[in-house]
Each structure stands twice: as structure tokens, then as C-alpha cells.
């Protein structure tokens, strides 16, 4: 098979999130998050221990170093930094992240930190959460604590990860905090976008010498299952504009909400309250855009498909099975031509889940299906870059099997197996394969 080469300086990383790996839910002054409360309330798998990265982070940094990982994307836990969400700073939380960042720097691993990855302090949720306009001020206070303490120690700052999760948690009920109120959810999303813009302005005021800032929005592009069927085409367009990435990318990069999105919200009586200047605040110049890409979704108007969270984040079920690798080309084209992105793009998440990954007698998982998936994605990514796509790096989801939100521990995305009884980490075949990709800055492509 043909070898696909990547540009010199291409950044190879892995990604995690605080609620998914840290554990230590009640240790060293950490407050409760909405995921702590949500999972306990409904009897789900909980993030109480997760991968215990709060205690085992030195092992994880050494593991990344041994694999040649060049960048690590993690997130700060808001309730570990500010246990009540505002006011009191938890010095034990500050010390934890300082130690992690120092170790990453010593290992020569770039730090990419997400400010918010879905785990709002429960105390703030009790005061209205994202739906309260005060959220913008709460978030800015939190971001300021992070900028004051970590600033240039972080190479890449991400304001929010996948804002769609806030919609899923507030309109559909599948994610924390488990609400089903679409009008409230639309207000939450608007406040999130305003908070993003204000945080970018705050970041610029510091004048950091090397740090950059961006946002991560996942793109699950919807296609009509039957391209010649007008109902399928309309449904796919509605999903992209009113339930998916268009809700965020249009105000972030083009200004305002799209006409279709506006009409949808007004007709349903769920249009959010917007203050003068909000859209100007939202549309701040960014240093990079983080793209989370996994697969495509095919919609069929006469085929009702129930929403699901079975794959740790795939809430919208496609009527087609399998992986649509070529959708990556379309997504990158949409970013460039529809949303006019001219800033560098980083694939901040990409990977595939496994549910039946049984170790052999030596404790090794032979995850050939994951390697095949990654080969197909990375081969196409290399081709897209060669054709002009401005993609500068790739973060594989995930370093470890971890707590996959509503899917709990049944869904394994890691290139390293986590034994949830002993918490031992064991590289899978995919980890060794990825180490060779990084070493060679190239991948042997799939067909």
C-alpha cells in the first residue's frame, strides 16, 4: 500500500478530558460537577474513579513520552479549580495542574488545554447554569484564574469542547444535567457563545508570548440517504443547521445565526434572548479551529431513528452502518468554503470505539479494527493536506480507555487499555502502530 507523508512540523497528539480520566471526585477540595450528580441520580457508571489520572498522571506522561506523543490535549476541571464555581480558588487544584504542566514541558510534550469540557460545577447549575446570563461572568472569572496561573505554560487554549453536548444535556436529556427543555437549551447555547467571545478578548488582554486560543466544534455532517429525495435533503439540511455544527460555526465565523436556524427557532417559539453586541462579541478572531471528526450521518425522512448515546458521544443515529471515511474531505471543504476558515485547523479528536476488546494471555489487545480505521482516516487527511487543507495537527481520541459519559465504561476508545479493577495501563497494538506513524511522520495508507 502507498505511504502517505505529512508535512514537516505536523503535530501528533492524544486527547482526554478531566471528567473522563481524573477520578478523585471528592479529594483535595474538589466540588461536585453536573456529571457527578447526573450519574449518581440515574444509577449510571460514575466518574468517581475513572482512570485515576489525578494520582497516576506521572505514569501517563511517561507513557506518552514512550510512544513519542508530541502533544497532549487535556481539560481543566472547573470544580477542582473553583469548587463552588466562583469565588474560592482551590489551591490543591492549582497545584495539580501546575505539576502536570511542568511534567509535560520536561517531557517535551506540547500542552493543549480545554477550559470547559462538559463538567459544570453543580452549584452553578443550581443557579441556572448556562441558561443564566450570569454564566458569562462565571466563565470569565474561571478563565481568568486559569490564565493567571497557567498562561504561557499552555501552548494551545480551547475555550469550549463540542458545544453540542450542552444542547444534548439541556434539550434531549441524554447528558448532564438531564433536562428536556429546548427553549432553555437554545438560551444556554447563546450564552456559551458569548462567553467564548468574552474569554477570547480576555485572553488577548494578557499578551501571552506563545500561547494561542481557539474553540473545538465537532462536525458530524448529515447527508440525505436518498440524494434525489427532497424530504431527505431537507431533513439533512435542517439537522446540519439547526441541530448540529451550523448552530455554532455560523455565528463564530460568519456572524449571526443562519436564516434557516433563525426561522426554525422563531417558528418553534424558542428564540433566545440576545443583547446588542452579542454577535460582535461571539465573532472574535481565533488562532486555530479544533475539529472533532468521527463519521458521517445519513438521514431518511420516512425512517424514524431513535437518538442514542451508545458510542460515547454519537447522539444522532445514521440509517447507514459503517464508517464514511471520505466525509472528512467534505467536512474540510465545508469549513473552507462555507464558513470561510483561513486559520489553521487541528483535528482535536478522532478515533473509534471498541466494546469487545479482550486481552490475550499477555494482556495485550489486538485492536486491528481500530488500526484499520485510523489508517483510512489518516490516509485521507494526508491527501486533503496535499490538496491544500490547512490542517496542522492530529489528536487521537483517546490515550486511555476512560469514562465515556452516558456510555460509561462499556465503550473503549483508548490506544492504551485501562484495567478498571487495577487501573493498570497497557498499550494496545494501536498504540505501537501510532508510535510508528509519529516516528515516521507518515502512515501506510489503506485503500
Reported as a single tens digit per residue, the pLDDT across 29-80 is: 999 999 999 999 999 999 999 999 999 999 999 999 999 999 999 999 999 9
Contact 252, 283 (CB under 8 A): yes
Per-residue pLDDT averaged across 310-330, rounded?
A: 76
Residue 336 to residue 331: CA distance in whole angstroms? 9
Per-residue pLDDT reduced to its tens digit, 352-365: 999 889 999 998 99
Cross-strand pairs, 22: none
- Regarding beta strands 212-218 and 297-299, do their DSSP bridges make them parallel or antiparallel, or are they unpaired? unpaired
pLDDT for residue 312: 37
- DSSP bridge pairs for 15: 73, 397
Phi and psi for 374 in degrees, rounded to 5?
-65, -40
Cα(50)–Cα(257) distance, rounded to whole angstroms?
38
What are the distances in angstroms from CA 258 to CA 163, 183, 253, 316?
Answer: 17, 18, 11, 21
394 touches 347 (CB < 8 A):
yes
Q: Read off the pLDDT band of 306 (50, 70, 90).
A: low
Name which of 178, 153, 152, 155 is nearest 166 in CA terms: 178
Instruction: Return the pLDDT at 305.
Output: 64
Domain boundaries, the chain: 3-444
Q: What is the pLDDT of residue 49?
A: 98
Query: Are β-strands 416-418 and 391-397 bridged in parallel, bridged antiparallel, or unpaired?
Result: unpaired
Q: Which of 9, 57, 199, 4 is nearest to 114 (CA)?
A: 199
Q: pTM score, two decimals? A: 0.97
Say if residue 304's pLDDT is above 80.
Answer: no
Closest CA to 159 of 206, 109, 193: 193
Segment 406-426, tens digit of pLDDT: 999 999 999 999 999 999 999
| pLDDT for the residue 196 | 99
User: What is the helix (H) or strand (E) element at residue 59, kind and residue range?
Assistant: helix 53-67
* 214-240 tens-digit pLDDT: 999 999 999 999 999 999 999 999 999
DSSP secondary structure string, 240-287?
IIIISTHHHHIIIIISS--HHHHHHHHHHT-PPP--TTHHHHH----S
List the grid coordinates of 446: 489503506
Which DSSP helix (H) or strand (E) runs through 93? helix 91-106
Interval 69-92 mean pLDDT: 98
Per-residue pLDDT, 310: 38
User: pLDDT over 90 for what percent of the chain?
Assistant: 94
Name the residue among 207, 95, 191 with its Cα closest to residue 140: 191
pLDDT at site 355: 82
pLDDT reading at 347 higher than 80: yes
The set of catalytic residues is 162, 349
pLDDT 10s digits, 186-206: 999 999 999 999 999 999 999
Judge whether 377 and 328 are in contact, CB under 8 Å.
Answer: yes
List CB contacts of 292: < 8 A, sequence separation 6 or more. 161, 162, 216, 217, 218, 219, 347, 348, 349, 350, 397
**Does the structural domain 3-444 have CATH classification 3.20.20.80?**
yes
Query: Would you say residue 314 has pLDDT above 50?
Result: no
Q: What is the mean pLDDT of residues 249-264?
A: 97
pLDDT in tens, 368-394: 999 999 999 999 999 999 999 999 999
The C-alpha R_g of the chain, in whole angstroms, comes to 21
Q: DSSP 3-state assignment of 399?
A: coil
Q: Is the dihedral of CA 314, 319, 322, 324 positive or negative?
A: negative
Relative orientation angle of helices 429-440 and 53-67, to the nearest 10 degrees: 50
> How does the average pLDDT of the chain come out, rounded?
95
Percent of the chain with pLDDT over 70: 96
| Residue pointed to by grid coordinates 444542547 | 167
Please give the Cα distance from 57 to 49 (Å, whole number).
Answer: 13
User: Do residues 122 and 77 lie in contact, with contact meaning Cβ atoms separated by under 8 Å?
Assistant: no
Q: Which pLDDT score, from 0 to 100, does residue 1 have?
A: 66
Dihedral sign for Cα 180, 184, 190, 196, please. negative
CB 175 within 8 A of CB 168: yes
pLDDT of 311 higher than 80: no
The C-alpha atoms of residue 170 and residue 115 are separated, in whole angstroms, by 20
Q: Residue 339: pLDDT above 60?
A: yes
Amino acid at each position: 500500500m502507498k505511504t502517505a507523508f505529512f508535512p514537516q512540523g505536523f503535530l501528533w497528539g492524544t486527547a482526554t478530558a478531566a471528567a473522563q480520566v481524573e477520578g478523585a471526585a471528592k479529594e483535595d477540595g474538589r466540588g461536585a460537577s453536573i456529571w457527578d450528580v447526573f450519574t449518581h441520580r440515574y444509577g449510571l457508571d460514575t466518574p468517581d474513579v475513572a482512570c485515576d489520572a489525578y494520582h497516576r498522571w506521572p505514569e501517563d506522561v511517561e507513557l506518552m513520552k514512550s510512544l513519542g506523543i508530541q502533544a497532549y490535549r487535556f481539560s481543566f476541571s472547573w470544580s477542582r479549580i473553583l469548587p463552588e464555581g466562583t469565588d474560592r480558588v482551590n489551591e490543591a487544584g492549582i497545584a495539580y495542574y501546575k505539576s502536570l504542566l511542568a511534567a509535560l514541558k520536561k517531557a517535551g510534550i506540547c500542552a493543549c488545554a480545554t477550559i470547559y469540557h462538559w463538567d459544570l460545577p453543580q452549584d452553578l447549575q443550581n443557579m441556572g447554569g448556562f441558561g443564566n446570563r450570569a454564566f458569562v461572568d462565571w466563565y470569565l472569572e474561571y478563565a481568568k484564574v486559569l490564565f493567571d496561573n497557567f498562561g504561557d505554560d499552555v501552548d494551545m487554549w480551547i475555550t469550549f469542547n463540542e458545544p453540542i453536548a450542552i444542547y444534548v444535556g439541556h434539550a434531549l436529556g441524554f447528558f448532564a444535567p438531564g433536562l428536556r427543555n429546548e427553549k432553555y437549551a437554545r438560551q444556554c447555547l447563546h450564552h456559551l457563545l458569548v462567553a467564548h467571545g468574552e474569554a477570547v478578548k480576555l485572553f488577548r488582554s494578557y499578551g501571552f508570548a506563545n500561547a494561542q486560543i481557539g474553540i473545538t466544534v465537532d462536525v458530524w455532517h448529515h447527508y440525505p440517504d436518498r440524494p434525489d429525495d427532497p424530504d431527505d435533503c431537507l431533513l439533512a439540511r435542517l439537522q446540519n443547521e439547526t441541530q448540529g455544527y451550523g448552530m455554532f460555526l455560523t455565528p463564530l465565523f460568519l456572524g449571526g445565526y443562519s436564516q434557516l436556524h433563525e426561522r426554525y427557532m422563531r417558528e418553534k417559539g424558542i428564540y433566545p434572548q440576545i443583547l446588542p453586541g452579542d454577535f460582535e462579541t461571539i465573532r472574535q478572531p481565533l488562532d486555530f479551529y479544533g475539529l472533532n471528526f468521527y463519521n458521517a450521518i445519513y438521514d431518511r425522512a420516512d425512517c424514524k431513528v431513535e437518538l442514542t448515546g451508545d458510542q460515547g458521544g454519537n447522539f444522532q443515529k445514521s440509517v447507514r452502518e459503517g464508517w464514511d471515511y471520505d466525509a472528512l474531505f467534505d467536512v474540510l471543504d465545508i469549513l473552507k468554503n462555507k464558513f470561510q476558515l483561513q486559520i489553521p485547523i487541528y483535528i482535536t479528536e478522532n478515533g473509534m470505539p471498541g466494546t469487545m476488546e479482550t486481552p490475550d494471555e499477555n494482556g495485550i489487545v489486538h485492536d486491528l479494527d481500530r488500526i484499520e480505521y485510523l489508517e483510512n482516516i489518516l490516509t485521507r487527511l494526508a491527501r486533503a493536506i496535499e490538496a491544500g487543507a490547512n490542517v496542522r495537527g492530529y489528536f487521537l481520541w483517546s490515550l486511555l480507555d476512560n469514562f465515556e459519559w452516558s456510555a460509561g465504561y462499556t465503550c473503549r476508545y483508548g490506544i492504551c487499555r485501562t484495567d478498571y479493577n487495577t487501573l493498570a495501563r497497557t498499550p494496545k497494538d494501536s498504540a505501537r502502530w501510532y508510535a510508528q506513524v509519529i516516528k515516521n511522520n507518515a502512515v501506510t495508507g489503506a485503500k
